Structure 1
Amino acid sequence: MAEIKRFQSSARMSQIVRHGDTVYLAGQVGDGTSVAEQTASCLDKVDALLEQAGSSRKHILQAIIWLTDMSDFAEMNQVWDAWVPEGHPPARACGEARLAADSLKVEVIVTAAVAE
């Protein structure tokens, strides 16, 4: 069985779990007041975590995006579309959900392959 490595862990959760050649990130939220600001901020966090885990946005297999209001879908997609590398779009789902704090508008959850 492949080794499981955990990074940035607390008693509750890990920001990164790497199992074999697969990287799982905890849901990332961003700073700012607008959906665009929060999306850009959380995608910056995704980039940093993927790098720490030996991966990159070109290796994302799946992304799950939660918005507190689906009317923000187009605003989030403007930031997302500029961030995803051309030719490397992951499988993706987006839905509406209540997030952990009222100020949060977007959360991104990523699964990626290790870059080889």
Structure 2
Amino acid sequence: MSIQRFHTGPRMSQMVIHKDTVYLAGQVANDPTQDVEMQTRQILGQIDALLAEAGTDKSKLLSATIYLADIATFGAMNKAWDAWVDQANAPARATVEAKLAAPQYVVEIQVTAAK
């Protein structure tokens, strides 16, 4: 059984590939000074880059879990998401309000994709 781990630190890997499935860790914005829409755009760019590194893309997304620090920002997050997602191949998705790892982060996104 082959398992590949990428961008691994002492606590976690940013991406794990097992067989033909790509698992991404929860992604947060590199510049958390931005609002939820801009943080979402940053995160989606990071997801694109990781999926490309794995040899896949957003059209192969299987699932997404989105964590919002404030569910009232759901519409602003969706503005960025809707502009990015491949609407012909939208993944199964859940969005929940959650306290994130640090107060400057207002959104975190975790996805799983097929290769």
**What TM-score do the two structures reach when normalised by structure 1?**
0.95
1:34 matched residue in structure 2 = 35
| Equivalences, count | 113
* Aligned pairs for 1:28-107 within 5 A: 28-30=27-29, 31=31, 32-107=33-108
Partner SS, residue 37 of structure 1 = helix
Give 2:19's aligned amino acid: G
Give the unaligned 5+ runs of structure 1.
none
Q: Distance in 1 between matches of 2:22 and 2:6?
A: 11
1:9 matched residue in structure 2 = 8
Give the unaligned 5+ runs of structure 2.
none
Q: Which runs of 4+ in 1 moved over 6 A?
A: none
Partner SS, residue 111 of structure 1 = strand
Q: Distance in 2 between matches of 1:86 and 1:108?
A: 18
Backbone CA RMSD of aligned residues: 0.8
Give 1:102's aligned amino acid: P
Partner SS, residue 7 of structure 2 = strand
Q: Distance in 2 between matches of 1:37 and 1:90?
A: 21
